[in-house]
Structure 1
């Protein structure tokens, strides 16, 4: 059984960062460091009239006060978000990050309509993860609260029904499902139906991920040996781009032949190492 620190280190970067940011935002509110409704809540009046543009981002980090529903949303990030990032988006961190960014932009557009606007769109973004996970793993067996077992495809609908029974607002869940279906349609359903795949992760997202985490397998950016990990290796940078002409290769083989000892068995190279030479002197 892994320790909490080992579990934390095993989490993929995007889900870990988002989960920690949401936990920090709620903890700071609990400690009365700030008032989220007056400082980070989504309010287009403050965004355009007072230029408080940070509200377009910060509202996604507040998942509510400490409660059962807050814990459930963190569990969704830790389970279904991590499952997507490690499974469907394995070694495609930039694509996973772009999925969240697209979901956030879609929710911001929908929030322009007063009937769909909520101060904090984080719960909708989290429910988007549930919807996409259910579409990616439709046959997975899920146990809901230890009461009923169903397939993954029906998970978002079951959670929507439970919110209805518990009297929770349904609008955040519905908006999350709409954003998730829009993303899934553009990336999966439309191309499968013969449509052209035009929904590509922007280059700036790939560059951002390459800077912090290293180049991904599908990244259209140059590999940077210093990205993500300091001193990844100078030998890769020096030798990775070396090219030799046939004349240079032939000259190198002739030089190596001349340095061989004429009487050594199997053409061993003299001075294979300083320690070998010094050892003979003794």
Structure 2
């Protein structure tokens, strides 16, 4: 029964959050048994010279070995990815996927310059940043120690990461990319003379979104009891 409950809960998670979170967990499980991180990390030389193109994706899926850091990252990834997908991206799966692609491409370009090997944590911070800016009035509590407004959450996470001895470069990258997306999507289009620059490709809408109803479509009236179909057409 417990397994049925977990399965039911899993399938209730929105599609993009479910797919990304499951991919991260399965990648970590594979590292425990089948592969090594050296087969996953971001390496431009191996990508472009040896065509190991999977590294463009797998470097976003590995958050390190099982431990506190892994579960901490998974908790925040699942929570804020789901809240975005169920909140401001509700009914806009294609737009959500486009945000993933936009953020992933920008991080990959910055990763080339900064020699970063894994970008999953930066991606999580990007999701947190976008969510926090879209919920500016929400009060947050961090482990019962700090109370603050939601827009400060990415910076609190960066400080916590620093306390754990991690480099803040990855967190800063996530904040930077998150801000670029937020500015282009939410700020610039609402400025005088501004316009929407991030346009979701139509093929993503065809794949992920339900087709829009034709406004000119007029359904036939329901058949009344005892009415002959020929009479209805006359």
Q: TM-score by structure 1 length?
A: 0.73
Alpha-carbon distance change, 254 to 45 in structure 1, aligned in 2, over 3 angstroms: closer
Contact 1:91 1:216 in 2 (8 A): no
Contact 1:137 1:152 in 2 (8 A): yes
Alpha-carbon distance change, 254 to 25 in structure 1, aligned in 2, over 3 angstroms: closer
Q: 1:59-70 alignment to 2 at 5 Å?
A: 59-70=59-70
Instruction: Provide, for residues 158-199 of structure 1, a one-character-per-residue CA deviation record: whole Å limited to 9, x for no partner.
Output: 111111222111111111111101111110111121311121
Q: What is the RMSD computed on CA atoms of the aligned residues? A: 2.4
Structure 2 stretches lacking a partner, 5+ long: 222-226
Contact 2:130 2:178 in 1 (8 A): yes
Whole-angstrom CA distance in 1 between matches of 2:30 and 2:91: 33
2:29 corresponds to which residue? 27
User: Relative contact order (C-alpha < 8 Å, sep 6+): which is higher?
Assistant: 2
What is the deviation of 1:7? Answer: 2.1
Larger Cα-atom Rg? 1
- Match status 1:11 vs 2:13: yes
Task: Choose from 108, 113, 119 the match for 2:117.
Answer: 119
Task: Choose from 132, 156, 159 the match for 1:158.
Answer: 156
Alpha-carbon distance change, 12 to 88 in structure 1, aligned in 2, over 3 angstroms: same
SS at match of 2:53: coil
Whole-angstrom CA distance in 2 between matches of 1:185 and 1:216: 29
2:72 corresponds to which residue? 72
2:145 corresponds to which residue? 147
Contact 1:132 1:180 in 2 (8 A): yes
What is the deviation of 1:94? Answer: 0.7
- Match status 1:183 vs 2:187: no
Whole-angstrom CA distance in 1 between matches of 2:165 and 2:190: 38
What is the deviation of 1:97? Answer: 0.9
What is the deviation of 1:77? Answer: 2.0
SS at match of 1:143: strand
What is the deviation of 1:54? Answer: 1.6
What is the deviation of 1:243? Answer: 7.7
Whole-angstrom CA distance in 1 between matches of 2:37 and 2:49: 19
Instruction: Provide, for residues 19-48 of structure 1, a one-character-per-residue CA deviation record: whole Å limited to 9, x for no partner.
Output: 0000000011112x00121x2211000111
Q: TM-score by structure 2 length?
A: 0.87
What is the deviation of 1:208? Answer: 2.4
- Match status 1:136 vs 2:134: yes
Q: 1:64-103 alignment to 2 at 5 Å?
A: 64-103=64-103
Structure 1 stretches lacking a partner, 5+ long: 224-239, 245-251, 258-282
What is the deviation of 1:111? Answer: 1.3
Alpha-carbon distance change, 255 to 102 in structure 1, aligned in 2, over 3 angstroms: closer
